[in-house]
Amino acid sequence: MVRITLRESGSRTPRPLGVNTIATGLPEQASASAFVLGPTGVGLGPGDILYVADTATSTITAIRDAEFRHGGSGPGSLVTSGGALSQPLGLAVAPGGDILTVNGGNGKIVETTPGGRQAATEYLDQSGSPAGAGALFGLSIAPSGLVYYVDDAANTLRLLH
């Protein structure tokens, strides 16, 4: 996992100032259907913690001091694994600090506390395909708190109600 520091200058294209490794050893595996399975969704939470969803292992890990870390110190610490997580592809951190992930394996969104408790799940996949089928992968929370997600099976950006 790397952090790229950019310099912005008006309307010009941002220029990279530096690249720092902030985590190493995150698992990955080759996949005929997805090319590579591994870390996919990331979100920066309170306390400078970068949360990472890993599709290959159905886990969420935390990388502390993500903004200022210089040099990787392993893959981070495990937040949660298994349970309702099934190939998480997208991740966002809610305003209250909980971690939201959308799953490619079962079509659900999962809310996880920073302490690792999977607090809530909801089935979102509306494709009619076999459960999940990789339909959910993008996730974003607007400043207003509205949650948007990508349903790739329907090629649609959806609003979570």
E-state strands within 55-98: 59-63, 77-81, 88-93
In a domain, 90, yes or no: yes
The range of the structural domain enclosing residue 139 comes to: 2-7+27-159
In the chain, the number of structural domains is 1
Tell me what pLDDT residue 104 has.
86
Tell me what pLDDT residue 127 has.
62
In a domain, 83, yes or no: yes
Q: What is the Rg, in whole angstroms, of the alpha carbon atoms belonging to the chain?
A: 16
> What are the beta bridge partners of residue 81?
59
In a domain, 22, yes or no: no
What is the spatial distance between Cα 17 and Cα 20, in angstroms, rounded to a whole number?
10
Tell me what pLDDT residue 1 has.
79
Which residues of the chain are modeled with pLDDT < 70? Answer: 31-36, 73, 126-133
Tell me what pLDDT residue 133 has.
65
